[in-house]
Amino acid sequence: MIGSLRISLEALRANARTLRALVGAAQSAFVVKGNAYGHGLVETALAIEPLAARLCVFSLAEALELRDGGITAPILVLGPIAPSDLDAALEAEVEVALWDTKSYLRDLAAAARKRHARVRAHVKVNTGLHRLGLEADDLPDAVETYAHLGEIELAGIFSHLAAAEEIDSPYTSFQLERFTKAYAHAEPMLASHGARPLRHIAASAAAMLWPKTRLDMCRFGIALYGLWPSAQTRTALDGDAITLVPALAYESQLVATRAVEAGAAIGYGTSFHAPREMRVGVLPLGYADGVPRAFSNRGAFLVNGARCPIVGRVAMNMCVLDLTNAPSAHSGARVTLIGRDGDAEVSADDWAGWADTINYEIVTRLPSTLRRTFDEG
């Protein structure tokens, strides 16, 4: 075994149930983009589909893979879809994000007309993130344009928050107010056409920290996988309000051990010199396998349940561990890169700290080529 990921399907379902209970009457959509944040797209989606109001992806390719994998739940594609792919999107009956009133809208309506179908669209509003979306002041006129097209069914109106991971965030209040006003100005037009689109602006952090943002639906991404959106959300809710269960473990084995004399250099660039005689173990995983090079002389994994620091630079497919804390370890010894072994644990948040990034990036960048096994337990 070079390295493999174990995904607990029951942990995913437990997190989904916890999040659904947290938001009460609001619908729960689960975000499975980025290969389900590294957890495996189709397998994750199948596990949580019965608990999901809809599944959210970024690309049409992800949506089509879900349909091919047997997913029948509503799927919302949050990202752009090329005009040449609209026919495939309509055939798969996916919901699309819409923030255009010009050529793309004409292409979308034409594709639906050709199939004698209606397309369910969620209208994106820019409330301050300044990426995709109509300007808030333009929403009423855009809704009027959409409503007069028989091929467009307004299924939702939504936005993205920029700073919801913070407990004290005036910007979140500003964005929510902007969204609420934009929707209110568009509501008479919506009502005149009998449209009642879902309002959604909250992702995991906002749904946890800002109850007012839950509206009609929440989009849960990182929390579904048992990971906290930020340290502040964990401090505010961990244990007392909700408990999240990490669903992913990353495991491997040592492929060699060796004695190293004092002063010997280990790894590329000779960035580490043994301070004494020591035993080290070779792990057949490196930055091609999702172990950031930033872990060089900084990170640590568990060998037979003992924390063993990385010494020397992380290479493309190998890194070296100091076995001082695991003196009996030998070739074939179990290595836990993410997960628990006995009383010790290495988490995606530990990885994020060593790499100066966020847990989202850590799990999402785990290569799709790594073998994934899916456990019911």
**Running along the chain, 377 residues long, what does each successive block of 10 average in pLDDT?**
93 98 97 98 98 98 98 98 98 98 96 97 98 97 94 97 92 98 96 94 97 98 97 85 95 98 97 98 98 98 98 98 98 98 97 98 97 92
Residue 33 annotated in active site: yes
Report the pLDDT value the prediction gives residue 238, as an integer from 0 to 100: 75
| Given the residues 33, 124, 183, 225, the one annotated as active site | 33
- Cβ–Cβ < 8 Å for 146, 112: no
Read off the pTM.
0.96
CATH of domain 248-375: 2.40.37.10
How would you classify the pairing of strands 119-126 and 95-98? parallel
Report the pLDDT value the prediction gives residue 259, as an integer from 0 to 100: 97
Residues of the chain with CATH 2.40.37.10: 248-375
In angstroms, rounded to a whole number, what is the distance separating the alpha carbons of residues 78 and 31? 10
Report the pLDDT value the prediction gives residue 167, as an integer from 0 to 100: 86
Report the pLDDT value the prediction gives residue 337, as an integer from 0 to 100: 98
Report the pLDDT value the prediction gives residue 1, as an integer from 0 to 100: 63
Residues of the chain with CATH 3.20.20.10: 8-233
User: Side chain identity at 314, as an amino acid letter?
Assistant: V
For tokens 């309509």, what's the residue? 90
| Given the residues 104, 171, 181, 268, the one annotated as active site | 268
- Residue 280, beta-bridge partner list: 258, 322
Domain 8-233 -> CATH class: alpha beta
Which residue stretches of the chain are H helix?
A: 9-23, 33-37, 41-48, 60-68, 86-91, 103-114, 139-147, 170-192, 204-209, 231-237, 348-355, 359-364
Report the pLDDT value the prediction gives residue 73, as an integer from 0 to 100: 98
Report the pLDDT value the prediction gives residue 361, as an integer from 0 to 100: 98
Give CB contacts under 8 A, 24+ apart, made by 192-196. 192/147, 193/147, 193/154, 195/147, 195/153, 195/154
Report the pLDDT value the prediction gives residue 174, as an integer from 0 to 100: 97
